[in-house]
Amino acid sequence: MTIPGFTDHVEILDQTRIAFSKGGNGPPLLLLHGFPQTRAMWARIAPALSRRHTVICPDLRGYGDSGKPTGVAAYTFREMAQDQQALLHHLGFERAAVIGHDRGARVAHRLALDAPELVSRLALLDIIPTHTLLADLRRDVAKAYYHWFFLAQPEPFPETMIGHDPDAYYHSCLLGWGGAALNDFDDDALAAYRTAWRDPQTIRAMCDDYRAAIEYDFDHDAADLDKRIPCPTLILYGAEGAMARAYDVPATWAGKCTEITARTVPGGHFFPDTNPDDTLATLQAFLS
């Protein structure tokens, strides 16, 4: 799926294929998608943002048209964040605003910790910190976010189960975590998601993403518990989402940011897909 008005590109950066769409003019803005999606999730948001920004929408490694290296260690948020550093540098940008949803938000958080000089503004959409979720795991959260632990099981167990009917499994993800119906999603975006997740290598890579969170990312975050995001940060979350039901979401971030703004958008976890207009308006206000 091509984002309207954008051009599609592929670059090999540090031996990893990164596919991305780029459009607009102005200060750079990096948009990072989540699980189980691709950069197509930004198709109804990125064109409006590109009126004032040069907008870059990559597929995370393991997702969409980007490369799918082998080995769990290749899928840490640190590795994914390094992809984004390499991409921005390749495009000639020394500093960018960054917006991430779901896994993309976790990559954006790691990017802001590892390369704070690169991130001018940060928006984290519908997550709480990885370390907080795993270290203080509660029964209601474990039930809602069971997929963290299913996908993290050793290969090939989850891959085999999902591979039997990828659409059925990933549809269940899109319809969970706050509730939605398939007709809430754009038809072209859904088609792009399905094309991606029907690839056995994408299924394997997305499982490795979740394996890495438990095997590596938790320890990376534990080592950085005292670090704070130095740039203005927007915490944006679905008012009816699983995280909003389980947590005071802004409070989970308050001690991790030097300057924080918190807002809600009507909808569940996938509000950028299901409520792009309110999402766009909130992001535009933050960026300007």
> Helix 77-90 crosses helix 103-114 at what angle (to 10 degrees)?
70
Residue 184 lies in a domain: yes
In a domain, 107, yes or no: yes
CATH number at residue 187: 3.40.50.1820
CA angle 29, 194, 31 (to 5 degrees): 5
Q: What is the pLDDT of residues 55-114, one digit of tens each?
A: 999 999 999 999 999 999 999 999 999 999 999 999 999 999 999 999 999 999 999 999
Buried b / exposed e across 227-236, counting CB within 10 Å, b at 16+? eebebbbbbb
Give the other-Cβ count within 10 Å of 92's Cβ.
8
Q: pTM to 2 decimals?
A: 0.98
> Active-site residues: which are they?
102, 269
Q: Average pLDDT for residues 185-207, to the nearest whole number?
A: 97
Asked if the model's pLDDT at residue 180 lies above 90, the reply is no
Model confidence pLDDT, tens digit, residues 215-234:
999 999 999 999 999 999 99
Residue found by looking up tokens 């590892």 in the block = 114
For the chain, how many residues are written?
288
pLDDT tens figures, 230-259: 999 999 999 999 999 999 999 999 999 999
Sequence-ordered list of residues with C-beta below 8 angstroms from that of 173, at least 6 positions apart, any chain: 35, 36, 147
* Mean pLDDT, the chain, integer: 97
Residue 143 CB-density burial (10 A; 0-12 exposed, 13-18 middle, 19+ buried): exposed
Residue 223 lies inside a defined structural domain of this protein: yes
- How many Å apart are CA 256 and CA 230, to the nearest integer? 9
Predicted confidence (pLDDT) at residue 1 exceeds the cutoff of 80: no
pLDDT tens figures, 152-166: 999 999 999 999 999
Which pLDDT belongs to residue 232? 98
| 1 in any annotated domain | no
Say if residues 53 and 29 touch (Cβ distance below 8 Å).
yes
- Does residue 189 fall inside a structural domain? yes
User: With 90 as the cut, is the pLDDT of residue 190 above it?
Assistant: yes
Distance of CA 179 to the CA centre of its chain: 18
Number of domains in the chain: 1
Tokens of 18: 């990164």
Inside any domain, residue 2: no
Q: Residue 28 domain-assigned?
A: yes
pLDDT score of 178: 80
Place of tokens 């167990």: 157
- Residue 179 confidence (pLDDT): 77
Q: How far apart are CA 259 and CA 128, in angstroms?
A: 16
Assigned domain for 229 exists = yes
Q: Tokens in use for 251? A: 């409070």
pLDDT band at 2 (very low <50, low <70, confident <90, very high): confident
Three-class SS state of 51: coil
Encoded tokens for 254: 């308050």
* Span of 90-94, 176-180, 232-236, 266-270 with lowest mean pLDDT: 176-180
Range of the domain at 157: 7-287
Each residue's pLDDT tens digit, 114-147: 999 999 999 999 999 999 999 999 999 999 999 9
